[in-house]
Amino acid sequence: MIRLLQKSRSLRTRNHPTTPGTTYPFIRQKLLAIGMLALTIPFIYGFTNMNEEGMGRLIIKISNVSKDRGIIWIGLYDSADTYLIKEKSILKKIDVSQKGYHEMVVDSLPYGTYAMALFHDVNANGEMDRNLLGIPSEPYAFSKKPKSKWRLPKFDEVKFDFAQDVQEIDTKLKKWWD
């Protein structure tokens, strides 16, 4: 009787698919392939979208460029603490060779709240020129029209929300006396 039990136990374990040492290669290969695919797809998907998540393209459209020389300097500021501090801005420039309309594209800009200040450095000296009273003598613009031209606008007056894959902002250069 004991011999019969031992013999029946050995027959059951020899052909049972869950017993170590049994070979069902097609099942094992399929399970391995499905498992690898299930692990790989999210991993690859996460890396391909890593740079795109939370970032977009800002297209800055500048009109009313009155001179065909110089440089348009554009500063993007992400907080009131960094506003109008050149070293803390995202600084871009456009070499001007024609009057009228110019465009600047800022790729991979993180979503957030920004303020933009720009000016047309007609003589290309790298500074906003001013007259004896401190009034700007070169054309300038902000992301929104300031409430007063008698002082520099505050961050909150000219800020805009950037939260789209592609967003355009239109601005028009003007002189102080315009």
> pLDDT tens digits for 134-143?
999 999 999 9
In this structure, the strands spanning 166-172 and 55-65 are parallel
For residue 44, report the phi and psi dihedrals to the nearest 5 degrees.
Answer: -65, -45
Helix (H, G, I), strand (E, B), or coil: what is residue 102?
Answer: strand
pLDDT value of position 51: 45
Rg from Cα positions in the chain: 32
Measure CA of the first residue to CA of the last residue in the chain; give whole Å: 111
**1-18 tens-digit pLDDT:** 455 445 545 545 455 555
Q: Helix (H) and strand (E) counts for the chain? A: 3, 8
Q: Give me the CATH code for the 55-172 domain, please.
A: 2.60.40
Given a contact cutoff of 8 angstroms between Cβ atoms, the answer to whether 156 and 166 are in contact is: no
Instruction: Select the more confidently predicted residue: 142 or 40.
Output: 142
Comparing CA positions, the residue from 43, 160, 45, 154 lying closest to residue 109 is: 160
The amino acid present at 74, given as its one-letter code, is I
Q: What is the mean pLDDT of residues 139-153?
A: 93
Given a contact cutoff of 8 angstroms between Cβ atoms, the answer to whether 48 and 54 are in contact is: no
Q: What pTM, to 2 d.p., does this model score?
A: 0.69
* Domain boundaries, given as residue ranges, for the chain: 2-48, 55-172
